[in-house]
């Protein structure tokens, strides 16, 4: 399982992991580095990884294009939630952890991983039987979550007052993410094409 764990860590440096990683890191930051949220985020990612290799759930290209901004909108709502009366449930640590885990799970639906040797072997073997591959994909998903752990530790190292005093920043960030998410719905392909061209020219 160590090779799978290591391959996942290397994959975190590649763009194909961003759709899984960015929402999870943002949730770790939004939930202010709480361990309960980190456990929920990892659990959501592992559960999504199991479904991924089971190959029972998948989004079509059209669904991906139409829904590319949904995760951004969800994160934005969580950022704003503590300041909106009808979303106060999300200000409870357990409620936020549940949302964080849900976001990381949902992010796995958009995830199109880089399939290296280890993940490739897991996927190939999973076509013959999923159960035997659950430990390996669990190790892979936990490896992919290592940057989230770093984000948790960084948040815990920060002065708590620095986080609580930035109410306007949380709200502005949330509104910004909701807006960005709404604008990117349906433009997934166009954005990726643009980014790819920028990075190769």
Residue 3, interface with another protein (CB under 8 A)? yes
- Closest contact distance (angstroms) between CB of 26 and another protein is 19
Output the CA–CA distances (angstroms, integers) from residue 142 to 5, 26, 180, in the order listed: 7, 17, 29
Q: Which of 70, 115, 134, 180 binds another protein (CB under 8 A)?
A: 115
Q: How far is CA 197 from CA 62, 100, 177, 185, in A?
A: 22, 32, 24, 20
Closest CA to 79 of 163, 178, 176, 170: 170
Cα dihedral sign, 104-107-111-114: negative
Alpha-carbon gap, residue 23 to 79, rounded angstroms = 12
| Distance (Å, whole) CA 135 – CA 140 | 9
Q: Does 169 bind another protein (CB under 8 A)?
A: no
Q: Is 186 in the site for another protein (CB under 8 A)?
A: no
CB nearer another protein, residue 107 or residue 118: 118
Q: Does 38 bind another protein (CB under 8 A)?
A: no
Length of the chain, please?
201
Of these, 28, 81, 119, 177, which contacts another protein (CB under 8 A)? 119
Given 84, 88, 92, 156, the residue binding another protein (CB under 8 A): 156
| Contact set with another protein (CB under 8 A) | 2-3, 5-7, 9-10, 14, 16, 52, 55-61, 112, 114-121, 123-124, 127, 143, 146, 149-150, 153-154, 156-157, 189-190, 192-193, 196-197
């Amino acid at each position: 399982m160590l090779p799978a764990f290591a391959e996942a860590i290397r994959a975190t440096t590649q763009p194909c992991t961003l759709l899984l990683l960015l929402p999870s890191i943002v949730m770790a930051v939004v939930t202010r580095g709480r361990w309960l949220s980190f456990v929920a985020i990892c659990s959501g990612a592992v559960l999504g990884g199991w479904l991924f290799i089971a190959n029972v759930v998948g989004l079509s290209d059209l669904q991906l294009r139409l829904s590319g901004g949904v995760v951004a909108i969800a994160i934005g709502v969580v950022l704003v939630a503590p300041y909106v009366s009808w979303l106060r449930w999300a200000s409870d640590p357990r409620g936020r952890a549940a949302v964080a885990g849900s976001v990381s799970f949902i992010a796995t639906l958009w995830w199109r991983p880089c399939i290296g040797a280890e993940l490739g072997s897991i996927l190939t073997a999973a076509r013959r039987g999923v159960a035997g591959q659950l430990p390996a994909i669990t190790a892979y998903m936990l490896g992919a979550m290592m940057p989230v752990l770093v984000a948790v530790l960084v948040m815990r190292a920060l002065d708590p007052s620095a986080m609580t005093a930035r109410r306007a920043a949380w709200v502005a960030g949330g509104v910004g993410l909701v807006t960005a998410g709404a604008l990117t719905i349906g433009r997934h392909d166009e954005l990726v094409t643009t980014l790819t061209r920028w990075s190769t020219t």
